[in-house]
Structure 1
Amino acid sequence: ASLRALGELWRRSPVDLPEEAARRGLYDLAAPVKGFDVFLSHTWMSPGRYKVLSLLFQAGWKQAFFVQSLFVVAGIILSLVRWLPLPFTIPPEFAEYSHLICPFFPWCLVLGFVGSFIGLVLTPYLPALCGQHPVCFLDVVSIHQADQELMERGIYGLGGFLRVSKELRVLWSAPYLSRLWCVFELAAYRMANPSGRIVVSPIFVEVGALVTILFTYFVAALFSLVFVLNWQEVGQVMTYVVALVPLLLFLHLMRRNLMSKHRLLSELRLFDLEKAYCRTDFDREFIHRAIIEWYGSKEAFTQYVRGPLREELMRCNRSAFPLPYLLMVSAVPFIASLDSLVSVSLGGMK
């Protein structure tokens, strides 16, 4: 639900909202629950649009696949019954079928792109596949942003929120570990919920996945153009060269993902509590009191972050390119091949 209205909740920090009524209205969006499936940990210093995109992909890849499949099947059926215009022709690849006329238009590719886009954007409004949408803790909604007393109660109750959260999902970005609140949430979650799951999700992974998918669609459309224009070998070779770009983007994304893991671990190894940034003195004082109460001293907390917490994050950091995103990329050339199969089928090839 936090992703509805194009992720409006994520666009601006509640501290930056000019009107108190706007901050007060955020709390009205929350609902009483017994526990949380996911506690979303993030910093407002990173752009909200990247976090919206990251969560859309994480929550909506199944819906995107489902709607995409429906649109592709519709494209196949409507093309075979000639209810969709097929203004072009492509020559069959085999010489013995060179006399056939194969009507063509990349409807599967076009509708597959539209379907995946619609499925992804409508994910917050569509029913969940294989279960229910997770119940999430989001600071801007779950803690009152206008009433000082309720805000303090929410902050003091943070340990309780963490205790009833099945998973702590870290939307990691470069400034994440420079924020005192973020590091405190990491350490407090393990203290309050020893059996809970920690997932580190660098938000740029989904940005790279989107760019790779879009460029793969572009290359597939370029191949369709080559078939329609019946370009000679030089044109085809140039197309094959361009087709390498999605692979290069994928490799760059994997490299950047690996570098982010090393940066995360390096920042934890050099963590300094006194240098961690906190926006208000109230928050800083509360966190320092909680640290001393839970860990005995600030120095003990610093050593915990540099040692046991860092070692745990080494095990749970998501360093590989997620399989669902890899399937979304590889689905594009498969869908494009369906257009060719439809074309030769309409041309009479058996």
Structure 2
Amino acid sequence: MARPASGGLHRLRRPDSFDEVRKSGLFRSSTPCHLLSRFAIVFQDTLEAFLLAGGVRTRFPTMQQVKLASESLFNASAETDAVDIFIGHSWGAGRWSKFLALCMYFNLGTAIKCACGSWLLVVTVLLGWGGVTILGGSYLAFPCLTYLPISCFFLAFLFAHQIMGETPSVWVDKLCIHQTNPDLKAKQVAALPVFVARSRRMLILWDDTYFERLWCNLELATCARFGGAEKVEVLPLWLAPWLLTSVLSQLFFVTLWRVLEQVFPNWGAAWLEGITDHVGMILGEKQMLVVAISSGMMLCILNLPISVPCFFSFRMKLRSHQLLLDQMAAFDVRNAKCTLPADRGPIEQQVRELFKDGDVLEDQEAKATGDVDAGEVRLQRFVDVNYFRDPLQSFNLYVRGTLRDSVIAQIGDELSVPWRTCLIAILPMIFYSSVSVLGCDSGPCETSSELQGFVSVGQYMVTNSVVWVLCIAVASPLTFPITLRMLKFTFSFGDGPLQHVAAFLCCALASICNCLCSSVLGTLFGVVMVEYSVKKLLAFVVMLVVLIMQNVWLFCGHIQRRSRNEISCRCIKRQAVYEAVGGSLQAHDAT
């Protein structure tokens, strides 16, 4: 957050003084394209970066050149009556983490559309050119159907904001507050509550220093007062690196798979034969189960290298997510830091004005409890004035309760990963599935279908397609929540070298479980299609139901738990009201 040049603040504007701010031209807005230009160089807190952002290139700038760069940045913004997104951040976080987070916020949807669109275009052209079996054993299948869509994904992820038509307006301190005009800067900083109140949404780029900054807390308090928790979006800075690491790990896995198929054409058959012999010695004549487990073990061997990046990325996600929730649970605005001591008084006074009488808490509680149930009577709550004597404590309770619950509803707890996010993380595997189906397992389609016992190429390709869809939908996403739970359990015993080794093995074990489940599910379905029997169909259905139940528990369980918690909290709040009213009546009778 930008600060006055010197002397501290004497008075912050009230959020309802917008007309005065608008007439003076203090409220300005920028665009995502301008914000993310030069890879979001405006977030690098150095003079050299400031000059580059303003279009000035020199190692030894004069004061005139610094002012010129500042004017260039400021004039790139425009006067406005309101903005779509107020971006709150701490200068303690790095530039690149903010750049990736904002790319994810603004460009992720476009990146997915570009990747899928390019894949669909290539498939249409290739199939229209030579038919369904044209890619059987072709070297073009993998680069055209995997590398090209993933390349489009990364290009759009990083640069889509530069070519998008309509984009939301944003407010960022470095771009919308003049940096070298002390008087204008002081007026704009003093009008910060007005800017927040006139923003449709507030996007918090969270890092571990955000709640430690007093200016950041003022922004949050203003947004809470004039928009509520539903207006606040929290985007942790660890989320984009974790997602990109997962995508790159999956890309490495499918690349390794494909390279082995091309360099050693019969490597899969050779490995599978050796593994099948050893597994068969243990399982006996259960040929179907032997093939399924042997295929899964072969995939496990390929998955082992990606356990290394997975360990570091999942550990970062687990710890950072837990830190966010812990900071909110123990939040105290009095402990926040302020660079200029003179600013603390006006800022805390502004928070007191916003949260006086506890009206924000009461409004949020009314929204949470909603209408009374049948047979209940709504009672007037008599609030103890001593409870809200300190408005700063009211703000603390708001962050610890209402806002924290809202954040959990948005991004879940440290063990939560949305199913949709898991699909994005395995995007290379999704595209590679088309290589496996249309490429006919790196061989002529007629030959591959005969070797696997299918009566026709059509039956072979349809079966392969269904197997991939089932594995991608119900098996592969399970790796992410299972890995997080295993890591949390491991680190609950400490953070020493032994725990780190065990956590690394847990990442490998989670991948092994995923490979075995996918292999068994695919083998069962393939056997049902080739050699149908009621027992085999029943085994496939049981396996599918088990995986679906795991998905429901891991991806939908937190929604059910949150619903139960809301009901429980509602009952507890009503009980507190009854007790408060009863206590008040008893005290009245005693007097």
> TM-score when scaled to structure 1?
0.81
Of the three residues 81, 92, 95, the one matched with 1:34 is 81
CA contact (8 A) 2:242 2:313 kept: yes
The corresponding residue for 1:9 is 42
1:25-58 Cα offsets, whole Å, 9 max, x none, are 3212212222122111110100011111011112
CA contact (8 A) 2:223 2:231 kept: no
SS of equivalent to 2:205? strand
Query: d(CA) in 1 for partners of 2:309 and 2:400?
Result: 29
Query: d(CA) in 2 for partners of 1:67 and 1:239?
Result: 29
1:47 aligns with 2:94: yes
Of the three residues 311, 315, 331, the one matched with 2:401 is 311
Q: Would the alpha carbon gap of residues 247 and 294 (structure 1) be closer, same or farther in structure 2, given more than 3 Å must change?
A: same
Q: 1:1-350 alignment to 2 at 5 Å?
A: 1=33, 2-12=35-45, 17=50, 19-77=66-124, 79-80=126-127, 81=129, 102-105=137-140, 106-107=142-143, 108-127=145-164, 132-194=166-228, 197-228=231-262, 229-230=264-265, 231=267, 232-233=270-271, 237=297, 239-243=299-303, 257=317, 259-281=319-341, 283-295=343-355, 300-317=390-407, 318-319=411-412, 320-322=416-418, 324-344=420-440, 347-349=444-446, 350=457
SS of equivalent to 1:243? helix
Count of aligned pairs = 331
**Mean Cα deviation higher: 304-313 or 216-225:** 304-313
CA contact (8 A) 1:104 1:339 kept: no
**Larger helix proportion, structure 1 or 2?**
2
In structure 2, what residue type is equivalent to 1:263? L
CA contact (8 A) 2:42 2:50 kept: no
The corresponding residue for 1:93 is none
Query: d(CA) in 1 for partners of 2:147 and 2:154?
Result: 11
Query: d(CA) in 2 for partners of 1:266 and 1:22?
Result: 40
Query: d(CA) in 2 for partners of 1:210 and 1:144?
Result: 35
RMSD: 3.4
CA contact (8 A) 2:214 2:333 kept: yes
In structure 1, what residue type is equivalent to 2:37? R
CA contact (8 A) 2:197 2:222 kept: no
SS of equivalent to 1:123? helix
Task: State the 1:316 CA deviation.
Answer: 1.6
CA contact (8 A) 1:69 1:112 kept: yes
Query: d(CA) in 2 for partners of 1:7 and 1:140?
Result: 11
Query: d(CA) in 2 for partners of 1:165 and 1:329?
Result: 32
Query: d(CA) in 2 for partners of 1:15 and 1:224?
Result: 45
Query: d(CA) in 2 for partners of 1:10 and 1:273?
Result: 25
CA contact (8 A) 2:229 2:403 kept: no
Q: Would the alpha carbon gap of residues 269 and 280 (structure 1) be closer, same or farther in structure 2, given more than 3 Å must change?
A: same
- Bigger relative contact order, structure 1 or 2, given CA contacts below 8 A and separation 6+? 1
Task: State the 1:127 CA deviation.
Answer: 2.1
CA contact (8 A) 1:171 1:200 kept: yes
Task: State the 1:263 CA deviation.
Answer: 2.7
CA contact (8 A) 1:39 1:169 kept: yes
Query: d(CA) in 1 for partners of 2:82 and 2:427?
Result: 37
Q: Would the alpha carbon gap of residues 79 and 163 (structure 1) be closer, same or farther in structure 2, given more than 3 Å must change?
A: same
**Mean Cα deviation higher: 40-49 or 235-244:** 235-244
CA contact (8 A) 2:85 2:170 kept: yes
Task: State the 1:252 CA deviation.
Answer: 7.3
In structure 1, what residue type is equivalent to 2:400? R
**Mean Cα deviation higher: 177-186 or 45-54:** 177-186
Q: Would the alpha carbon gap of residues 195 and 213 (structure 1) be closer, same or farther in structure 2, given more than 3 Å must change?
A: closer
1:236-291 Cα offsets, whole Å, 9 max, x none, are 74653342676896797667555445433433444444542222345434413423
**Mean Cα deviation higher: 217-226 or 273-282:** 273-282
Query: d(CA) in 2 for partners of 1:32 and 1:150?
Result: 14
**Mean Cα deviation higher: 52-61 or 240-249:** 240-249
Task: State the 1:321 CA deviation.
Answer: 3.1
1:179-210 Cα offsets, whole Å, 9 max, x none, are 11112211121123347511222110111000
> TM-score when scaled to structure 2?
0.50
Query: d(CA) in 1 for partners of 2:46 and 2:90?
Result: 9
Query: d(CA) in 2 for partners of 1:159 and 1:15?
Result: 30
Task: State the 1:302 CA deviation.
Answer: 3.4
Task: State the 1:64 CA deviation.
Answer: 0.8
CA contact (8 A) 1:187 1:305 kept: yes
In structure 2, what residue type is equivalent to 1:9? V
**Mean Cα deviation higher: 335-344 or 18-27:** 18-27
Query: d(CA) in 2 for partners of 1:167 and 1:254?
Result: 29
In structure 1, what residue type is equivalent to 2:397? G
Task: State the 1:141 CA deviation.
Answer: 1.2
Gaps of 5+ in 1: 90-100
Gaps of 5+ in 2: 1-32, 52-65, 276-294, 358-387, 447-456, 458-591
Query: d(CA) in 2 for partners of 1:325 and 1:140?
Result: 32
Task: State the 1:62 CA deviation.
Answer: 1.8
Query: d(CA) in 2 for partners of 1:194 and 1:334?
Result: 39
